[in-house]
Structure 1
Amino acid sequence: MTDRSVRNLALLQSSASTSRVLNLLAVWRRHGSDEAWAANPLFRNPLLNRSLIIKHRLRRDEMDLFASRRQVATKVLLPIDPTDLRLGGRSVFVDQLRFADSMKSTFGSGFTESDLKTLRLLDELPSLDPFLLREQLKRHEIEPDRCYFDLTEADLKRMFQFARDEITPLVTMSMGSAVGVEGHASRLVAKILSNAQGEEMEPLRQTLRLAHNEYAEGVFCWKGFLYYKWSLASVMTDIRRVAEAIATVRPMGPLDQESREYIGRSREVLRRKILRTRETVMGTLKVYDDAYAHLTTNGRPTAFREFLLDAPMLFTRLGDQVGAIQHIVSFWNFRFGEGKPPPSVEELIDVFMDFESSLAERDTDMPAQPQAA
């Protein structure tokens, strides 16, 4: 299909959140001349590897594109002109009806079954954050170059102040004085968030007691926990409000007995699951906080180093849970904000089913949480 959402597409470059958009066009612009990008692409099809992949709230007229009802889908968008996003593009939803045929029509015949498999793995995720994305792909033996796992520029700007506040205790400890801490913390955060390496990062590597081959992985994981702490903090004030609103929302129109029973049961189940998921995320992040305190308060870098190297095993569950919370809060604010009409019985049941699916436990093959040393 041709995507005419010109204004939204143009804004992706400046305002898109990492959890919602995987901007492969931006990756190509930054790294298209790198050997590693060419040797280890995310997709084999060159057009697909320069597309934008978006978690998209389906409009009413788009729901008929799928065999089963869903609220959110994964859109693959190919810009008409990669140098001018205002011109719009052509798009396909992952696993829409006649998916393979639509992919061939949009991207040509030069894509592989492995590309379709990768798209379906992305579609399974509640968000496209790079830490969850990397672990999902790794579990299925897909390991593209590290350049595909960056945060968007918009999120880097939004989380900068939060990350600087988190890093300040480490800078204060290392400097032994509060003088000049803010400037040093700002520079260090900029380097961590941009994956900077080289001699200027050598003091940090030595502080964390990471070997050269461990440094990139360790800092990537550190950035992951900063990202998840910031993501949770950004929706924290809305979580309980949305949970309580779910418990009281009333649909428009008559209710049959079966619908009444389902909605009544789902209200309390969803409320409990949302609040429990929030507590679980906070508990996981406390493991990080405890390990970081060993470094900044107790002067034990080894404990924090070991935590960072074990941290990827937490990203799948943490990313799922944070992504589910973000999805529920974002969708609720979008659909049930001030001035919006009440839902029909059918729509409310669809929304509740979507939320329950987002919060479903994914315990299979999940490793135990590492403990702070």
Structure 2
Amino acid sequence: MTDRAVRNLGNLRKSASTARVLNLLRVWRDHGDSDGWRQAPLFRNTLLNRALLLKHRLRRDEVDRFRVRRTVATKIILPIDDGDLRVGGRYVFVNQIGFDRILEESFGMSPGHPDRRILALIDDLPGLDPFLLREQLRRHGHTPDACYFNVSEADLAAMAAFVAAEIAPLVDLSLGPDCDLEASSPVARLTTKIMSNSAGEDMSALGETLLLEPHEYDEGVFCWKGFLYYKWSLQAIAGQIGGVMDSLRRVRPSGRVDAEQMAAISRARDNVRRRILLTCEATAGMLRVYDSAFQGLAAEGRPMAFRDFLKDAPVLFSRLGERLGALQHIVSFWTYRMAPGRPAPDADELIDILSDFDLSLAGQERPARAALAA
């Protein structure tokens, strides 16, 4: 691995779960002695269950590792030294050419191994957000211990409250006039259905109303849940984006800086700030697509608008996840790196960080309607 990759890997050692990283090595260190970790592992393979998984934006020299065109891949990293991630590690991309052979040679896993299916489910997601990762696995019958998902009860409660406020207009349409008001409020019950893995089955009447095939509706409901989660997540980081933008504008590297380095930093900083703004606009535009479709269903008597949204939801969900994941990565990493008391980065490190941010945002700033053509 390059020096830049080693430095980035070392920065992961204190993190367990983020929008872009799932640090199973950290989970093992923190919970390896617990019954939950031993009895309900994410992966059965010991090596894989202590690896690092990253959602990685492919560089130009990496896209030919795959038979189909893609921009983001799931990278599995096996640290060379569990005690010092700065040493680096060996890595492989999920579903790259020769992936089955590599799994056999490096992990001793045959193509039919159960962990192969779990990797495919994870690879299908645009990011590694703990909430959506848990839901993706759960709806396919896999329920690892809660230690693998950094989702607090407070976050779950906040998400539930947000969903309840969002879907309140749909209660009468979904549950009908015969709902049991004694058990709980209709809004609370519908919220529970949406946030559970049985939403597709429990709300199948809505799918029939929208003339969707069961598989289209099931996938659409999961992506609908994803849109609600991403909308909530964007609200959570919206207030931090401005601070990061301002910090990026003001940051100065430590130590000696030559004219070429300063010019490179200035160009990269301006480009990253511009792309952050455009990506925020594109993300908000995609959420407006959902808002308009839901408004048509719940308030304007146009259910086909929401039907079209659910059919397109998997593509939109993937693009939205990539965009929000890029923004979350920038906010979380920059906040961590520039925390009070930490030394300012030197010129080389600052250029590396800005280059990583620029790569994360590349292509994410396209207008919302372009997502369906991507």
Counting only pairs closer than 5 Å after superposition, residues 127-138 of structure 1 correspond to structure 2 as 127-129=127-129
Deviates more, 1:208-217 or 1:319-328: 208-217
Cross-structure match for 1:303: 305
CA contact (8 A) 2:75 2:91 kept: yes
Displacement of 1:128 in angstroms is 2.2
RMSD of aligned alpha carbons: 5.1
Whether the 8 Å contact between 2:126 and 2:319 is mirrored in structure 1 is: no
Structure 2 CA distance for partners of 1:209 and 1:348, relative to 1, 3 Å: same
Matches of residues 85-104 of structure 1 in structure 2 within 5 Å? 94-95=91-92
| Structure 1 counterpart SS, 2:250 | coil
Distance 1:296 1:28 in 2: 45
Aligned to 1:37: none
Q: Which residue of 2 aligns with 1:223?
A: 225
- Counterparts in 2 of 1:77 and 1:205: CA distance versus 1, 3 Å: farther
In structure 1, distance between residues paired with 2:54 and 2:319: 19
The code of the aligned residue for 1:20 comes to V
Identity of aligned residues (%): 40
In 2, are the aligned partners of 1:131 and 1:315 still within 8 Å (CA)? Answer: no
- Matching residue of 2:60: none
Distance 2:158 2:149 in 1: 10
Using structure 1 for the length normalisation, give the TM-score: 0.63
Query: Number of matched residues?
Result: 304
CA contact (8 A) 1:307 1:370 kept: no
CA distance in 2, matches of 1:329, 1:172: 39
Alignment of 1:191-206 (within 5 A): 191-197=193-199, 200-206=202-208
Q: Shift in Å at residue 122 of structure 1?
A: 7.5
Give 1:187 shift. 2.2
Q: Gaps (5+ residues) in structure 2?
A: 1-12, 29-35, 57-73, 80-87, 94-98, 134-138
Matching residue of 1:21? 22
1:131–1:319 contact (8 Å) kept in structure 2: no
- 1:72-115 Cα deviation digits (max 9, x unpaired): x955579xxxxxxxxxxxx965259xxx9997897347579xx9
TM-score, structure 2 as length reference = 0.63
Would the aligned equivalents of 1:270 and 1:355 in 2 still touch at CA under 8 Å? yes
Moved more, 337-346 or 285-294: 337-346
Q: CA, structure 1 residues 261+167, in 2 after alignment: closer, same or farther (shift >3 Å)?
A: same
1:159-238 correspondence runs (5 A) = 159-171=159-171, 183-197=185-199, 200-206=202-208, 208-238=210-240
Matches within 5 A, 1:17-166: 17=18, 19-21=20-22, 53-55=52-54, 74=75, 94-95=91-92, 107-108=107-108, 110=110, 127-129=127-129, 146-147=140-141, 152=149, 154=151, 156-166=156-166
**CA distance in structure 1 between the aligned counterparts of 2:275 and 2:172, rounded to whole angstroms:** 39
Paired letter, 2:353: V
Asked if structure 1 preserves the Cα contact closer than 8 Å seen for 2:171 and 2:186, the reply is: yes
For residues 370 and 148 of structure 1, do their structure 2 counterparts lie closer, same or farther at Cα, with a shift above 3 Å needed?
Answer: farther
